[in-house]
Amino acid sequence: MNMYAKQTSCVLNEDHLSGLPDDILIHILSLLPLKDAVKGICNASRRFHKLWPFIHTLNFDQCMFPEHDCNYYLEASRPDYDERFLHSVRHVLLRSKSPTIHKFCLKFHFRLSYSFWQRISNSTDIRLYDFLRSEKRMANEIGTWIQFALNKNLEVLDLSFSEHRIVGPQALYDLPNCVLSSPHLVELRLTHCTINAKKKSKLKSLKTLYLNNVVLMGQSMDYILSGCPMLEELTLQFCYGHIRVVVLNSNLKTLKLDIGWSRKRIYVSCPTLLSLDVSGAVDVLDIANVASIAEVSVKCNLIFDFDVSKDYQGIRMLLQTFTGTKTLNLCSWFALVFSAWQLKNLPSPTFSCKSLHLKSDFMIWNLPGILNLLKHCPCLENLTIEITSPHNKFTSHKQLSWYRLYKFDADEYWNMVDAPVQCLIDHLKTVEVAGFVEKHLVIQFLEYLLRHSMVLKKMKILAEKQTAKYYEERLLNIPKASASAAVLFY
């Protein structure tokens, strides 16, 4: 018996728990992984046999099922389901007596591969009839499981269906319409499925929505959001289809968009939004009506020609939307943008942020952009720089061609900066640096900060032991503008 099984057996030992009321015991059983709870119950008293059907958390994870081979079912060339797992799900649901279910989680290898082939070929191969029937029967049964949980005033629904390497997103499981009409759902998490909403949703209690690799057919996104008045947190990760996040008179506070591949346009409008996190590649990032936003993280590359004036206006208008945010997170691509503007003497927006987190590969053409950013963050108090690898899969040679027109000595760049930078004089208190810090351009930048940051209190550097030793020799003895500035290595 392994350690966890021993702990489970101990938890279910009647000598320890016999004095507790039934509702507390049911709550304890609901916190245990389902397979461990049921296994432990088999060795417990008759009282536990009567109580376990009342557990209010049902977590069915096929990959955690004993002796289940995930690779076999992921690569199967025909509909093939683990009957032992299916029997376990059916048994638990059949025995369930709880009047309410708090959480229903299903992680299952399922896709509609043959139904997809039938649709695109517009014909039915009699040899595949059994496969088609098997898929349809399994899809219908999954729908009955979901409906069973929803009928019990379900609050948290988590569905994850495995991706198949052979077929595309068109073969994913079709989410039953009843899910979008559940008034009790507070949290909805969906992975690898298709949503084809035809009308406004009725998710009046929903606060958290997480969609990962979900196909959004037609105007499904609009229909979903229009029926979620209580939604506070929305995450869209690698989703297919039309993405338009328009939320009016809502409670939405946090929006995370992980685009994953190039898109033509992403449109966001939400007056109550406080935190926005966008990553990926997109032609146009259209963000409006976000006056309340306090934290912005943009880790995406916009398809952008540095020599075209209309692109300059578009990016400047986008950044202008974030000028009031208190925390700003930008990727290396934006350092290139600010470099282009600095070298071309183009005006940049001024930010009121107090914290700036910048990811940069710290190549020569990033230096003017970093300086430009510091100039346009006059209230900056906390600067965090994550030094990344110089390889950037989103940045094309065409986008970098502009920098060859401008020549300067990178080793002397920070020594040539003579104009004062406002945030270094009045506000910058902490600097943190991590990543590929061994680059010589990085240490030159840190020397510049130490010589000019007049109220600096702490500079923290995450570096390997050998690199830290070299930094100590260079930084600890350098003349500092702030007498209280401490340089720390960790």
pLDDT tens by residue, 115-129: 665 655 666 666 677
Query: Residue 227: its pLDDT value, please?
Result: 93
**What pLDDT is attached to residue 397?**
47
DSSP H helical segments within 212-292, as ranges?
A: 220-226
pLDDT score of 304: 53
pLDDT at 186 over 60: yes
- The Cα–Cα gap between 364 and 440 comes to 11
Q: What is the mean pLDDT of the chain?
A: 82
pTM of the model: 0.83
Indicate if the alpha-carbon torsion angle 139, 140, 144, 147 is positive or negative: positive
Confidence (pLDDT) at 106: 95
pLDDT at 238: 86
**Residue 388 near residue 436 (C-beta atoms within 8 A):** yes
CA separation for the pair 322, 239 (Å, rounded)? 25
Higher pLDDT, 154 or 249: 154
At 418, is the pLDDT very low, low, confident or very high (cuts 50, 70, 90)?
confident
Which residues touch 268 (CB under 8 Å, ≥6 apart)?
Answer: 245, 246, 255, 257, 276, 285, 286, 287, 288, 290
pLDDT at 121: 60
Plot region of 153 (φ>0 → left; ψ -120 to 50 → alpha; else → beta)? left
Give the residue among 354, 436, 458, 357 at the shortest CA–CA distance from 390.
Answer: 436
Amino acid at site 201: S
**Mean pLDDT along residues 450-456:** 96
Q: Where are the alpha helices (DSSP H) in 237-321?
A: 309-320
Higher pLDDT, 44 or 260: 260
Portion of the chain with pLDDT greater than 70, in percent: 78
289-302 pLDDT per residue, tens: 888 899 999 876 65
Q: Distance between CA 106 and CA 190 in Å, rounded?
A: 10
- Model confidence at 476, pLDDT cuts 50, 70, 90, reads confident
* Whether the predicted pLDDT of 242 surpasses 80: no
Q: Is the pLDDT of residue 406 over 90?
A: no
Place of tokens 């030992």: 13
In three-state secondary structure terms, 161 is strand
The residue that leads in pLDDT, 13 or 233, is 233
Q: Is the pLDDT of residue 333 over 60?
A: yes
Mean pLDDT is lowest, of 99-113, 213-227, 241-255, 458-472, for 241-255
32-41 residue pLDDT tens: 666 655 555 5
- Give the C-alpha separation, 2 to 189, whole Å: 32
Separation in Å, CA 105 to CA 35, 183, 247, 257: 13, 18, 28, 23
The SS3 of residue 16 is helix
| Confidence (pLDDT) at 65 | 78
For the cut 90, the answer to whether the pLDDT of residue 460 exceeds it is yes
Report d(CA 108, CA 81) in Å as an integer. 9
Q: Between 137 and 18, where is the model more confident? A: 137
The DSSP secondary structure of 293-337, one letter per residue, reads --EEEEEEEE---TT-HHHHHHHHHHHHTTTT-SEEEE-HHHHHH
Q: Where is 254: in which H helix or E strand?
A: strand 254-258
Q: How confident is the model at residue 15 (pLDDT cuts 50, 70, 90)?
A: low
Q: In 10 A of CB 72, how many CB atoms?
A: 11
Measure the CA–CA gap between 158 and 185, rounded to whole angstroms. Answer: 11
Q: Please count the other Cβ atoms lying within 10 Å of the Cβ belonging to residue 193.
A: 22
Q: Is the pLDDT of residue 409 over 50?
A: yes
pLDDT value of position 143:
96
* Maximum separation of any 2 CA atoms in the chain, in Å: 83
Distances (CA, A) of 54 to 78, 151, 417: 37, 15, 70
What region, left, alpha or beta, does residue 280 occupy, with left being phi > 0 and alpha being psi -120 to 50 degrees?
A: left
Residue appearing with tokens 């683990």:
82
What pLDDT does residue 394 have? 46
Contact of 416 with 463, CB cutoff 8 Å: no
C-alpha span between 403 and 367 (Å, rounded) = 11
pLDDT of 464 reads 81
List, in sequence order, every residue forming a beta bridge with 105; answer none if it has no partner.
59, 158
What is the predicted pLDDT for the residue at 198?
93
pLDDT at 114: 61
**Would you mind telling me the total number of residues written for the chain in this entry?**
490
Q: Residue 312 phi/psi, 5° resolution?
A: -60, -45
List the structure tokens of 188: 């909805």
353 within 8 A of 328, measured Cβ to Cβ: yes
Whole-number pLDDT of residue 474: 83
Q: Which residue has the tokens 């020599």?
A: 307
Above 50 in pLDDT, residue 284?
Answer: yes
* Predicted confidence (pLDDT) per residue in 357-370, tens digit: 999 888 888 899 99
Question: 181 or 166, which is more confident?
Answer: 181
Instruction: Give pLDDT, residue 166.
Output: 44
The pLDDT of residue 47 is: 64
The answer, yes or no, to whether residue 90 has pLDDT greater than 70, is yes
Average pLDDT over residues 310-339: 87
